[in-house]
Chains A and B, each alone.
Chain A
Amino acid sequence: MSSRPAEDQADIRQGGSWNLWLGLGTLAFVALCLTVWFPRDIGSGFLQKNLTGRTVPGDAFFPVLLVGLMVPLAVLLVLSQLRPRAGSSGEPVGHIGLSNLGFLGQIILLTGASLMAMNWAGTGLVALTNAVGLTEFSGYRAASATFPFDVSGFFAGGVLLTCGFIRITCHRLSLRHVLVAVAVVAVLVLLFDGLLNDIQLPPNADL
C-alpha cells in the first residue's frame, strides 16, 4: 500500500544476518512450545481416546503439526544463510535497527500517554466539576453515561493521539493540525456516541 524508500532496498542486503536470527529464533520458539508452553497450556495431548475407545486427535494435535512444520523451514532459512551459493547472500531480508526501535518507542509512549489521557480525563473532569460545585457525582463511573463526561476521556486522548502522530509526520504542529484532530475526534464522538446505540467509546467499556 505504500512504496518502499530507496534506503530500505539497500538494507535488504545489509540485513542478511536477520535470516540467521529469524531461523534460530523460530527453532528456539518451537523448543519452548514443545517443552514448556504446550504441556502447561493445552488441556489434552497429541492424541486421545474418545468415549468409544477410538483414537482421535487431541487439542495439541494441530499446534504440534504446525510448529513441527516450522522446524524444516527454519533449518532451511539458516542453511540458506550459512551456505548460500557463490555470489549470493541468502534470502532477501530487511532490517530492524536502532532507528526503528526508537520510532517504536516513540509511538508506544505516545499511544500510552493518549490512553492514559483517555482513562483519566473523565475522572479529572468529574473531580473538577465536583470541586466547583457544578456536579455531585460519586466518581467517574456514576458520570460515565452523562454527556460530556462520557466522551471527555476519548476526546482528550483522541486529540492527543492524532496531534502526536501529525507532529511525527509533519515535523511540526500548527493550529490547523490541532483543529483537524479536534474535528476528526468530534466526528467519531458524533458517530459512535451520538448515532449508534450500545457502543461505548474508550474507556467506558472497561469501567
Chain B
Amino acid sequence: MDLLFQYIGLGISSVFQGPEGGLWLLPVGMVLIGVLIGIIIGAVPGMSGPFAMAIALPILVSIFGYGNEALYPVLGCLLGIMKGATVGGAVPAILFRTPGTPDAFLTTLDGYPMAQKGLGRKAIQTAHFSSVLGDNFSDLVLFIAAPAIALAVERILGLPEKSALIILSLCFMAAVVGQAPLKGLLGGLLGMFVSLIGSSMSGNGPRLTFGLPELGNGLPLTSAVLGVLVISEVLVSIEDMRNDRSSQAEGPAKRPEMGPRLTWGERARMLPAILRGASIGTVIGALPGIGTTTAATLSYDSARRASKHPEEFGKGTPEGVVATESANSAVSGANLIPVMSLGIPGNSAAVFIILAVETIGDFAFGPQVFQFTPIREVEGFDTIMNAGLVTAFGMFTMMVIANVWNWTLGGMLMGLLGHLVKIPKSIILPVILTVSLTAAYTQDGGYLGLLTAAIFSLIGYGLRRLDVSILPFVIGFLLAPTLEGLVRGAFTASGGDPFFLLKSPIALGMLAVSAFLLIRMVRQARRA
C-alpha cells in the first residue's frame, strides 16, 4: 500500500514539477485550454471532441515537440478537449434542438421541451450537473479498474493470450460497430495490413514500399488517422450538404426564456438517476467500439422504465436529460480503461490519446505500465522505479484537474454558449478541412503527410459510403505493430509450432469467442 501511495504522490507531483525540478504550471494551463476548447467546440454543431483532438494534436506536437517533457502538456490539452466536449454539446441541443455533438442528440428529446416551457436554465444546469458527475464517476472507475485489469492481464496472460485478446477485441468491435460486421472485420484486417507498409521486423529492410524510399519509415501515422477518421467524415458531410439545398435557408430558432435556476434540493434528488446513468455509461464505455449514443439510448430507456411517470419522457422531464447526459459523459473516462490497461483503443477520442502517446516521448500504454516496481535509489546512479506508472498517475491527476475546470468553468460557460449554434456548418466544415490538411503537411513531412491524409481520406470516404464502420480499420491500423510483435514472439517461443495460438486454454477460449462472433456475423449477414 505504501508503494501505491508513493507512486500516486510521484504522479501528482510530476504534473506540477517541471523537467528542471521547479514549479511547472504548463500542464494545468494546457488542461484548462483544452477544457475551454472542448466546451466551445462541443457547442458548435458539426464539431465534436474527436474532431478538435485530431486538429489539435499536430498543432500541439508542432508547439511542444516530441520529447518526454512534451507529453503532459499535449495529453493535458487532449484530455481537456475530450472532457470539455462532453459538456458543451448539450447547450444547443437544449436551446435550439441542434445537438452540438452526436451523443447530445437524445438530450434534445427532453431538454428542448424544457427550454420551450421556460426552463432553459434549469435544463442546462441539469445537463451540466449530470454530465460532470457522470464523467467523475467513470474516472473513479478508471482509476481503480485500469491498474487492476492491467495487473491481472500481466500476471495471467502470456504472448499467445495477449495476441488472442487483440484478435478478440477486433472481432468484438467489428461485431458491435455498424450494421455490416463482416465488412467491418475485413476493414480491420485492411487497416492492419496498411500499417505494415514501410515497417520491418527482422532487419531485412522496409517492406511493401513499392520501392519508394519516402515510405521507408512507414506511413505518417497522424496524417493517416486524420485522413481516415476526420477528413473522410468532413467529405461525406460536405457531399451531403452539396446534394441538399433545402437546409440552407433554415436558421436557428430564437433563444427561449431561460427561467429559474436548479436548486440544491433538485440536484440531490437527481443523484440516484445520475448514478444509474453513469453506471450504464461506464460499462458501455469500457467495451471497445460501443459509443456514447448506445450508452445514452440504453440509459434513457432504462430511466423511462424505472420512472413513476414514463409518459413524461419526451415532453420535457429533467429525468430524460439526466439519463442521457450522465451516461454519454461517463463513456469518456471509461473508454480509457482498455486503453490504459491493455493498450487497445475503444473509440475515436481514445485513438487520438493513443496517437499522442505513440508520437511523443517513450511512454506506451499497456499492462506493463501498472507494474509496481519497488522504488530504490542506487547511489551514484539514479532512482529505479516504473516511470510509466508515474506518468499514468500523472494522467489521472490531469483528468481530475480537467474535472475541476469542468465543474467551475463549464458551469459558467454553458449559459453563454447558445449563440455558437449560429456558426453555420457549411462554413465550419471547409475550415476544418483546410486546417486538417495544413496540420498534416506541417507535422508529417510535407507533401508526404498531405498525400497520406488525402489517400486515407479517400479510403475512409469509400468505407463510409459503403457502410463499413471506420473504427475497426483505425484500431487495426494502430494495433498491427503490437499484434505482429506478440504473434512473432509467441510463434518463436513455441519453437515454430504452427498451432502456437491454440496451445493455451485461455487463448483458445478467446479465439473460440472470436469464432462465435464471426459465426454470428455470418448469420446476421445472411438474415439481413
Q: Which residues of A contact B (CB under 8 A)?
A: 1-3, 5, 12, 15, 18-19, 22, 26, 37-38, 41-44, 47-48, 54-63, 65-67, 69-70, 73-74, 76-77, 80, 83-85, 88-96, 99-100, 103-104, 107, 111, 115, 154, 158, 161-162, 164-166, 168-171, 177, 180-181, 184-185, 188, 191-192, 196, 199-203, 205-206
Contact residues of A: prevailing secondary structure? helix
Can you report 6 A-B residue pairs in the complex whose CB atoms are below 8 A from each other? A38-B208, A43-B202, A47-B496, A62-B488, A73-B182, A200-B442
Tell whether, in the assembled complex, residue B465 and residue A94 are in contact, meaning their CB atoms are under 8 Å apart: yes
With the chains together, A55 CA to B241 CA distance in Å?
57
Tell whether, in the assembled complex, residue A57 and residue B491 are in contact, meaning their CB atoms are under 8 Å apart: yes
Tell whether, in the assembled complex, residue B237 and residue A70 are in contact, meaning their CB atoms are under 8 Å apart: no
Q: Which residues of B contact A (CB under 8 A)?
A: 46, 48, 50-51, 59, 62-63, 102, 179-183, 185-186, 189-190, 192-193, 196, 200-202, 204-205, 207-211, 233, 235-245, 248, 424-427, 429-431, 433-435, 437-438, 441-442, 445-447, 450, 454, 458, 461-462, 464-467, 480, 483-484, 487-488, 491-492, 495-496, 522, 524-528
Write the nearest CB–CB distance from A52 to chain B, whole angstroms: 11
Question: Which residue of the partner chain B has the closest CB to A94?
Answer: B467
Tell whether, in the assembled complex, residue A66 and residue B189 are in contact, meaning their CB atoms are under 8 Å apart: yes
* Residues in A neighbouring B434, C-beta threshold 8 A: 158, 161-162, 165, 181, 184-185, 188
Write the nearest CB–CB distance from A22 to chain B, whole angstroms: 7
With the chains together, A24 CA to B492 CA distance in Å?
34
Question: Which residue of the partner chain A has the closest CB to B167?
Answer: A69
With the chains together, A94 CA to B239 CA distance in Å?
15
The one of A84, A161, A165, A199 that contacts B429, using a Cβ cutoff of 8 Å:
A165
With the chains together, A168 CA to B429 CA distance in Å?
11
Write the nearest CB–CB distance from B79 to chain A, whole angstroms: 20
Tell whether, in the assembled complex, residue A200 and residue B446 are in contact, meaning their CB atoms are under 8 Å apart: yes
Tell whether, in the assembled complex, residue B442 and residue A199 are in contact, meaning their CB atoms are under 8 Å apart: yes
Write the nearest CB–CB distance from B48 to chain A, whole angstroms: 5
Tell whether, in the assembled complex, residue B427 and residue A177 are in contact, meaning their CB atoms are under 8 Å apart: yes
The one of B180, B202, B210, B438 that contacts A59, using a Cβ cutoff of 8 Å:
B202
Tell whether, in the assembled complex, residue B189 and residue A161 are in contact, meaning their CB atoms are under 8 Å apart: no
Tell whether, in the assembled complex, residue B59 and residue A191 are in contact, meaning their CB atoms are under 8 Å apart: yes
Question: Which residue of the partner chain B has the closest CB to A185?
Answer: B434
The one of A63, A99, A188, A200 that contacts B196, using a Cβ cutoff of 8 Å:
A63
Tell whether, in the assembled complex, residue A18 and residue B466 are in contact, meaning their CB atoms are under 8 Å apart: yes
* Residues in A neighbouring B484, C-beta threshold 8 A: 62
Q: Which of A3, A26, A38, A166 has the most CB of B within 10 A?
A: A166
Question: Which residue of the partner chain B has the closest CB to A107?
Answer: B235
Q: Which of B63, B182, B483 has the most CB of A within 10 A?
A: B182
Tell whether, in the assembled complex, residue A93 and residue B466 are in contact, meaning their CB atoms are under 8 Å apart: yes
With the chains together, A51 CA to B80 CA distance in Å?
50
Tell whether, in the assembled complex, residue A92 and residue B63 are in contact, meaning their CB atoms are under 8 Å apart: no
The one of A26, A88, A192 that contacts B62, using a Cβ cutoff of 8 Å:
A192
With the chains together, A154 CA to B181 CA distance in Å?
42
Tell whether, in the assembled complex, residue A192 and residue B240 are in contact, meaning their CB atoms are under 8 Å apart: no
Question: Which residue of the partner chain A has the closest CB to B466?
Answer: A94
* Residues in A neighbouring B241, C-beta threshold 8 A: 168-169
Tell whether, in the assembled complex, residue B207 and residue A206 are in contact, meaning their CB atoms are under 8 Å apart: no
With the chains together, A84 CA to B483 CA distance in Å?
34
Tell whether, in the assembled complex, residue A88 and residue B189 are in contact, meaning their CB atoms are under 8 Å apart: no
